[in-house]
Structure 1
Amino acid sequence: MSESPDSPPVFRTEAVTRVYRTGAVDVWALRGVDLTLAEGELVVLLGASGSGKSTLVNILGGLDLATSGRVFFRGQDLSRASDRELTAYRRDHVGFVFQFYNLVPSLTARENVALVTEIARRPMPAEEALARVGLAHRMDHFPAELSGGEQQRVAIARAIAKQPDVLLCDEPTGALDSATGVQVLEALYEVNRDLGTATVLITHNAAIQRIAHRVIVLADGKVVRDERNAARVLPAEVSW
């Protein structure tokens, strides 16, 4: 499944700012961000450290709140949601993948994924989720028995097992070498293509932007470029 330019937006933000107070100093992480994310779209967020990428994704995911402006998820105004509503939103609609895998060492890959399926509204079986990321043969291995790339793919399986509407990925290949990173990108690419999960992928690696439907570049808390790729490439074709 792929997005259409006419698809209704999953996310829409209006003039979003985020200001952190450090002592007597205001630090502006975001400065009036307007954007949309369509159904089934894979968007790459690029920008230097401190440009606001992670802050924006945390706000989209309901992990942080905007200082001003509004954030809509399918018409729901997240900027006015209660803590309880945000908890339900994260649980029911959002899958997170971070740079570090955050797996439980004493649980197998299957058991790590099953932690999410126990609380999801419409879970995918852990076995199916692991098979989708190419780990059907490693389900009963513990994290210490898996490579870094395999552990990250378990984390992706855990995120998709609750069949989220949105997958938010913060530097998912940042701790991996290029060959392993490609395997992780392939898993994300295929989840987006096959399940139609709207996906936002933060990266410092500009080459990765070629796999996206759309590329958004942030600098100093502002969107400085937002453009659609005329042609996409497969993750295996990315030059690292």
Structure 2
Amino acid sequence: MDNDREVVFATRGLTRLYRMGEVTIQALQGVDLALRRGELLVMLGASGSGKSTLLNILGGLDSPSEGEVHYRDAAGREHDLSRASQRELTRFRRHHVGFVFQFYNLISSLTARENVAIVTEISRNPMTPEAALALVGLEERLDHFPSQLSGGEQQRVAIARAVAKQPDVLLCDEPTGALDFRTGIRVLEVLERVNRETGTTLAIITHNEVIGEMADRVVRLRDGRVDEIHANAQRRPAHELRW
């Protein structure tokens, strides 16, 4: 991993508290982290380690209780997400970030092409739905409905939908969590291709240790803190992973 790459995200002292009645849960405790442009980062951690909370704050879906998170867009403009209004966060999500979740969240009454078009119609400089679906290997399935697609194909439509607006950053929360091994590898190959061919900064959170082998860097979280950051000397291609 080239440490000279531009920093896209920088967090300092990032803390997130959730209050449930009289109980306070500290999901993040002083996280310092940098994500670099074009890298493939994997965040590992057990359930409750804080990885989803961290991803949600980076993506503007949540705000920190304390600390700072700064984002530098492709034009070099810096955004202070820790002090952004809800309107500013909505604009940030719309124009700069793509999301892929464990569950596909496709609209069942729309075809693959139409599910992707929902995003392209509100984006500033989108791919065509056809180009996005070709990128994930579904050019022959444009007019199929979700019920006519396998789980892996539905997740690939979800990836196409996320990348169609050509985001600077793609944030993936357990993207293979609902898939079997063979299908999961196919989805990881697609994410790998997106990172390689578009230069999109890619962060994947997972509890699966093996997925870390395909990353430039691995961030391990434990009890809301960064426990370890490890740079791989060489990324292992997704098709070589075994778990």
| Normalised-by-shorter TM-score class | over 0.9
Residue 146 of structure 2 corresponds to which residue in structure 1?
A: 143
- 1:167 maps to what in 2? 170
**Secondary structure of 2:17 counterpart:** strand
Indicate the residue corresponding to 2:57 in structure 1.
59
In the alignment, which residue of structure 2 is the partner of 1:122?
125
Alignment of 1:182-221 (within 5 A): 182-221=185-224
Aligned counterparts, 1:13-92, within 5 A: 13-74=11-72, 75-92=78-95
Given that residues 4 and 39 in structure 1 are in contact (C-alpha distance below 8 angstroms), is that contact kept between their aligned partners in structure 2? Answer: no
CA distance in 1, matches of 2:4, 2:124: 28
User: Which secondary structure state, in structure 1, belongs to the residue aligned with residue 228 of structure 2?
Assistant: strand
Q: Percent same amino acid among aligned pairs?
A: 64
Q: Secondary structure at the match of 1:106?
A: coil
Q: C-alpha separation between the residues in 1 aligned to 2:13 and 2:118?
A: 37
CA distance in 1, matches of 2:98, 2:79: 18
Instruction: Provide, for residues 138-174 of structure 1, a one-character-per-residue CA deviation record: whole Å limited to 9, x for no partner.
Output: 1110000000000000000000000000000000000
1:155 aligns with 2:158: yes
Q: Give the letter for the 2:82 counterpart.
A: S
Aligned with 1:157: secondary structure? helix
1:9 is matched with which residue? 7
Q: Distance in 1 between matches of 2:202 and 2:174?
A: 13
Q: Give the deviation of 1:4 after TM superposition.
A: 3.0
Could you tell me the TM-score, scaled by structure 1's length?
A: 0.98
Residue 38 of structure 2: SS of its match in structure 1?
coil
Question: SS in structure 2 opposite 1:5?
Answer: coil
TM (norm. structure 2) is 0.97
CA apart distance, 1:212: 0.4
Distance 2:96 2:105 in 1: 20
**Equivalent residue, structure 1, for 2:98:** 95
Alignment partners' CA distance in 2, 1:165 and 1:151: 23
Q: Which runs of 4+ in 1 moved over 3 A?
A: none
**Which runs of 5 or more structure 1 residues have no equivalent in the other structure?**
none
1:92-146 deviations in whole A, cap 9, x for unaligned? 0000000000000000000000000000010000000000000001111000000
Structure 2: which amino acid aligns with 1:192? N
**Aligned-partner residue type, residue 105 of structure 1:** S
CA distance in 1, matches of 2:180, 2:114: 26
Does residue 181 (structure 1) correspond to residue 184 (structure 2)? The answer is yes
Whole-Å separation in 2 of the counterparts to 1:198 and 1:84: 24
Asked if the contact 1:127–1:139 (Cα under 8 Å) also holds between the matched residues in 2, the reply is yes
CA deviation after TM superposition for structure 1 residue 7, in Å = 1.4
How many residue pairs are counted as aligned between the two chains? Answer: 238
